[in-house]
């Protein structure tokens, strides 16, 4: 039997094909995570459904092929099994045991023994996720590496040419071949199963297809790629005009280039500080600098209500009707072992949101003219014991709240700041690509944490997050018992940060100007190099936004046919033309692999033909190995970078002033 229809039902599941080579499987026709965000932010979206051609219905199998696609799905009629095959009738992806029940849903995926699995959001424990298990639940655990993520995303893709996305905000657990080597098991706390299957050999297209589904990433303004200055809130070093001027004087004295100051420690909701804030913002703007402040994901202390006309109705309620709400469980015990109590904006209430964006932030953006904000503690919104005005079911609130809040804030910044307001957030989940930058929380100044920064950056990029950032060279000092040389870690952290989306000094560790002159000279040179990179960064960022790709990306995206790159997790492409090999340990030589093509060392001008591997490539203390594609070396934006590095090839220790 053969016929055409818009959807097909099997085993109580609905199969639809929203676009070519994309299949959506649902247990009920309800709004998923991306549809919720599209509806509430964009005013709704209509997902097209391609017609299906049921090519054949036999006694045991139904074969369904979308008219516009290159793949077909074979659905078993007895027990659930959905096998996706390509035009050569080869199996690409096989799903089993899909079901939904009162308290959750689950599905399993067959793993080939040579298959690599990437994605699942920001992951500190490595880029390849095979053999690991974790929970999709954003959590602040500082220096933890295993199963710790500020941005967990239930999306992964395989080197076999498919990707899966679980379109729900509720928590879920993933066992990627750890329990059974040949199986991925996913168990969601959502009673609705909603899974997308993407089918495409090109990994760039898999990431792009997912990004398109989530929504377009906004282009960061060019100034946001300049070096940032920040400090830990508790130190209060940027909390008054006088203190800010003192820090600026030190930067000028040391000839350190910078463009953005993030005044963490200045309470933006305290109206008594607004006169001083307006004064210092105007002063910094006159110097050509940009100014941001710090806030914590929709919280406002009660003592600041009087400045903004706040009302209790604007905030989330506890079970008793009060506004003091216990934060999420598993909060970082170093800060709050017994769950802190906070007052959260009710983002489900349109009146409250309008007051927050146009009342509170209208003053800060239009009158005071701030250029954006750092939004912290996105992982602390609870799901239990809370009441929101416009939200009946709070299951999934923990992941939904920060995503919607950050998208709203990003839109507000950019509607009120003509040059683009920058949004810098810690945390999120599904659709977090819809705001500028995310940074990866708090790392200590240690080698293992520097390596974790690279892992988190690359895994985020493979999960649809194009601009992942970190605190340059560590946020806090090394932990007790660690013997790493913090100065050496700091130097390598400088080099890594300059070849990442955001260069930001932050934390409680020493300022760059508190190091010996040799280190200050290295910092100074790399900040100058960053300015030489601005044109390239802006050009590459535009490509990232257009194509849904990360700026800092795993080699597999650019060289999918090269099986050697699948296991390399300490090198990456920075845009289309630069290959970066950061130094993540106390060494001055490291192994480097250059894939197919002609490459040039930006420091020496040396040329190499790939594929080629070096066991002990020189990586002296003041130099990060970086290679440019020879075919692109004459591009004006890349020539600026090469000229800046080549002039220093014969120095013995950088001199003051670069």
Over the stretch 54-90, which tens digit does the pLDDT of each residue have?
A: 877 888 899 998 888 889 999 998 899 999 999 999 9
- Pick the closest to residue 441 from 212, 131, 145 (CA basis): 145
d(CA 243, CA 260) in angstroms, rounded, equals 16
Band (pLDDT 50/70/90 cuts) for residue 655 is very low
Residues 651, 654, 658: CA angle, nearest 5 degrees: 110
Phi, psi of 263 (to 5 degrees): -85, 65
Work out the average pLDDT over 538-558: 97
Per-residue pLDDT, 651: 38
Round to whole Å and give the CA distance between 456 and 127. Answer: 7
Can you read off the two tokens belonging to residue 528?
Answer: 């100058």
* Residue 551 CA, distance from chain mean position: 11
Q: What is the pLDDT of residues 324-360, one digit of tens each?
A: 999 998 766 666 667 889 999 999 999 999 999 999 9
Which two three-digit tokens encode residue 397?
Answer: 């609130």
- Distance separating alpha carbons of residues 508 and 288, to the nearest angstrom: 27
Per CATH, 3-214 and 544-646 having the same topology is answered yes
**Residue-wise pLDDT tens digits, 489-517:** 999 999 999 999 999 999 999 999 999 99
Q: By three-state DSSP, how is residue 588 classified?
A: coil
Helix (H, G, I), strand (E, B) or coil at 608: strand
CB of 275 closer than 8 Å to CB of 266: no
- Contact call for residues 432 and 100 (beta carbons, < 8 A): no
Q: Among 144-148, 151-155, 389-393, which stretch is predicted with the lowest mean pLDDT?
A: 144-148
The angle formed by the CA atoms of residues 248, 250 and 252, to the nearest 5 degrees, is 70
pTM check: above 0.85: yes
Q: Which pLDDT does position 3 carry in this prediction?
A: 56
**What is d(CA 360, CA 503) in angstroms, rounded to the nearest whole number?**
29
The whole-number average pLDDT for the span 194-204 is 97
| Alpha-carbon torsion, ordered 495, 501, 503, 504, to 10 deg | -130
Three-class secondary structure of residue 9 per DSSP: strand
The CA angle 577-534-654, to the nearest 5 degrees, is 90
Residue boundaries of the structural domains of the chain: 3-214, 544-646
Query: Could you say which DSSP state residue 309 is in?
Result: T
**Mean model confidence pLDDT for the chain:** 93
User: How many angstroms separate the CA atoms of 625 and 524, rounded?
Assistant: 18
The token pair that represents 111 in the structure block: 């793993």
Counting beta carbons within 10 angstroms of the beta carbon of residue 110, is it exposed (0 to 12), middle (13 to 18) or buried (19 or more)? middle
What is the per-residue pLDDT for 654?
A: 40
DSSP state of 501: S
Classify the C-alpha dihedral 444-448-454-457 as positive or negative: negative
Residue pair 169/394 in contact by the 8 Å Cβ criterion: no
Query: What is the C-alpha radius of gyration for the chain, rounded to an integer number of angstroms?
Result: 25
Q: What is the enclosing helix (H) or strand (E) of 494?
A: helix 486-498
SS3 77: coil
DSSP letters for 11-45: TTEEEEEEETTEEEEESS----HHHHHHHHHHS--
Closest CA to 141 of 133, 128, 152: 152
Could you tell me how far CA 22 lies from the centroid of its own chain?
24
Q: What fold, for 3-214?
A: Immunoglobulin-like (2.60.40)
Helix, coil or strand: residue 345? strand
Determine phi and psi for 133, rounding to 5 degrees: -140, 150
- Interval 170-177 mean pLDDT: 97
Span 251-258, average pLDDT? 98
The pLDDT, as a whole number, for residue 331 is: 64
Q: Which tens digit of pLDDT belongs to each residue from 574-601?
A: 999 999 999 999 999 999 999 999 999 9
Which residue spans within 159-193 are E strands per DSSP? Answer: 162-166, 172-176, 183-188
With a pLDDT cut of 90, the percent of the chain lying above it is 86
Question: d(Cα 24, Cα 166) in Å, to the nearest integer?
Answer: 10
Residue with token string 């100065």:
487
Q: Which fold has domain 544-646?
A: Immunoglobulin-like (2.60.40)
SS3 at position 620: coil
What angle (nearest 5°) sits at the alpha carbon of residue 98, between those of residues 157 and 161?
Answer: 20
Instruction: Tell me the CA distances in angstroms from 371 to 279, 280, 439, 484, one per residue in order.
Output: 14, 13, 18, 37
Average pLDDT over residues 24-34: 95
Q: What percent of the chain has pLDDT over 70?
A: 96
Half-sphere exposure of residue 413: CA atoms within 13 angstroms, side-chain side = 26
The sign of the torsion formed by the CA atoms of 169, 204, 504, 508 equals: positive
- Distance of CA 548 to CAs 204, 212, 465, 537, 544, Å? 8, 7, 8, 16, 5
pLDDT tens, residue by residue, 105-150: 999 999 999 999 999 999 999 999 999 999 999 988 877 888 889 9
Give the pLDDT confidence of 304-319 residue by residue, as tens digits.
999 999 999 999 999 9
Q: Which pLDDT band, with edges at 50, 70 and 90, does 43 fall under?
A: confident
Helix (H, G, I), strand (E, B) or coil at 654: coil
Tell me: pLDDT of 5 over 90: no
The pLDDT score that the predictor gives to residue 505 is: 95
pLDDT tens track for 215-246: 999 999 999 999 999 999 999 999 999 999 99
């Amino acid at each position: 039997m053969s016929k055409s229809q818009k959807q097909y039902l099997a085993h109580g599941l609905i199969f639809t094909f929203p676009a070519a080579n994309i299949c959506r499987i649902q247990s009920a026709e309800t709004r998923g995570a991306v549809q919720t965000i599209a509806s509430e932010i964009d005013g709704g979206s209509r997902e097209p459904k391609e017609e299906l051609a049921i090519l054949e219905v036999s006694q045991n199998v139904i074969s369904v092929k979308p008219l516009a696609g290159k793949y077909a799905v074979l659905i078993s009629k007895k027990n659930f099994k959905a096998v996706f095959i390509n035009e050569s009738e080869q199996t690409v992806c096989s799903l089993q045991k899909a079901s939904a029940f009162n308290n959750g849903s689950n599905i399993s995926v067959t793993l080939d023994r040579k298959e690599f699995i990437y994605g699942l959001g920001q992951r500190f424990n490595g880029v390849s996720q095979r053999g690991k298990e974790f929970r999709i639940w954003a959590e602040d655990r500082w220096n933890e590496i295993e199963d710790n993520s500020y941005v967990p995303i239930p999306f992964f893709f395989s080197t076999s040419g498919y990707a899966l996305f679980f379109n729900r905000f509720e928590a879920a657990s993933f066992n990627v071949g750890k329990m059974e080597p040949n199986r991925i098991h996913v168990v969601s706390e959502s009673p609705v199963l909603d899974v997308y299957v993407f089918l495409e050999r090109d990994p760039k297209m898999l990431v792009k297809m997912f990004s398109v589904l989530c929504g377009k990433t906004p282009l960061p303004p060019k100034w946001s790629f300049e070096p940032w200055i920040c400090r830990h809130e508790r130190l209060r070093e940027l909390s008054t005009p006088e203190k800010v001027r003192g820090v600026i004087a030190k930067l000028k004295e040391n000839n350190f280039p910078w463009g953005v100051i993030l005044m963490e420690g200045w309470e933006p909701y305290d109206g008594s500080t607004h006169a001083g804030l307006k004064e210092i913002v105007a002063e910094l703007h006159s110097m050509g600098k940009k100014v941001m402040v710090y806030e914590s994901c929709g919280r406002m202390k009660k003592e600041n209500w009087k400045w903004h006309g706040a009302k209790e109705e604007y905030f989330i309620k506890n079970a008793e009707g009060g506004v003091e709400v216990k934060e999420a469980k598993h909060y970082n015990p170093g800060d709050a072992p017994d769950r802190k109590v906070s007052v959260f904006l009710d983002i489900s209430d349109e009146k409250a949101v309008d007051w927050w964006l146009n009342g509170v932030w209208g003053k800060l953006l239009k009158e005071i003219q701030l250029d954006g904000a750092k939004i912290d503690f996105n992982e602390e919104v609870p799901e239990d014991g809370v009441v929101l005005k416009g939200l009946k079911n709070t299951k999934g609130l923990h992941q939904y709240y920060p995503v919607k809040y950050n998208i709203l804030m990003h839109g507000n910044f950019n509607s009120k700041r003509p040059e683009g307001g920058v949004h810098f957030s810690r945390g999120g989940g599904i659709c977090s690509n819809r705001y500028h930058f995310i940074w990866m929380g708090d790392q200590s100044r240690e080698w293992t944490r520097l390596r974790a920064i690279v892992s988190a950056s690359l895994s985020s990029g493979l999960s649809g997050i194009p601009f992942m950032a970190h605190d340059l060279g560590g946020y806090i000092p090394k932990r007790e018992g660690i013997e790493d040389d913090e100065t050496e870690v700091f130097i390598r952290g400088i080099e890594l940060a300059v070849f990442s989306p955001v260069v930001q000094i932050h934390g409680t560790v020493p300022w760059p100007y508190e190091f010996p002159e040799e280190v200050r000279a290295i910092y100074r040179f790399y900040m100058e190099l960053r300015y030489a990179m601005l044109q390239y960064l802006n050009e590459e960022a535009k490509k990232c936004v257009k194509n849904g790709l990360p700026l800092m990306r795993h080699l597999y995206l650019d060289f999918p046919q090269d099986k050697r790159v699948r296991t390399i997790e300490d090198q990456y492409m920075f845009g289309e033309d630069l290959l970066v090999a950061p130094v993540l340990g106390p060494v001055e030589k490291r192994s480097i692999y250059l894939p197919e093509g002609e490459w040039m060392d930006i420091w020496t001008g040396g040329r190499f033909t790939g594929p080629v591997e070096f066991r002990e490539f020189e990586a002296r203390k003041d130099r990060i190995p970086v290679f440019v594609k020879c075919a692109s070396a004459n591009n004006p934006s890349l020539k600026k970078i090469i000229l800046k590095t080549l002039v220093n090839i014969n120095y013995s220790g950088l001199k003051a002033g670069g």
